[in-house]
Amino acid sequence: MPINEPATGKRKSQIQEYVDYYGGAGVQHIAHRTNDIIQTISNLKKRGTEFLTIPGTYYTQLAKKLQTAKIKIKEDLGKLQELGILVDYDDEGYLLQIFTKPMQDRPTLFLEVIQRYNHQ
Q: Round to whole Å and give the CA distance between 5 and 59.
A: 30
Strands (E), the chain: 29-33, 86-89, 94-99, 110-117
Q: What is the pLDDT of residues 75-95, one digit of tens each?
A: 999 999 999 999 999 999 999
Q: For residue 44, what are the β-bridge partners?
A: none
Q: What is the pLDDT of residues 16-27, one digit of tens each?
A: 666 666 666 666
The domain defined by 28-117 carries CATH number 3.10.180.10: yes
Long-range Cβ contacts of 29-34 (<8 Å, 24+ apart): 29/99, 29/109, 29/110, 29/111, 29/112, 30/109, 30/111, 30/112, 31/111, 31/112, 31/113, 31/114, 32/111, 32/112, 32/113, 32/114, 33/114, 33/115, 33/116, 34/113, 34/114, 34/115
Mean per-residue pLDDT, 98-108: 83
**pTM of the model as a whole:** 0.80
Q: What is the pLDDT of residues 44-75, one digit of tens each?
A: 999 999 999 999 999 999 999 999 999 999 99
Domain limits of the chain? Answer: 28-117
* pLDDT at 2 exceeding the cut of 60: no
Q: What is the pLDDT of residue 84?
A: 98
Q: What is the pLDDT of residue 105?
A: 80
- Helix, strand or coil, per DSSP, at residue 59: helix
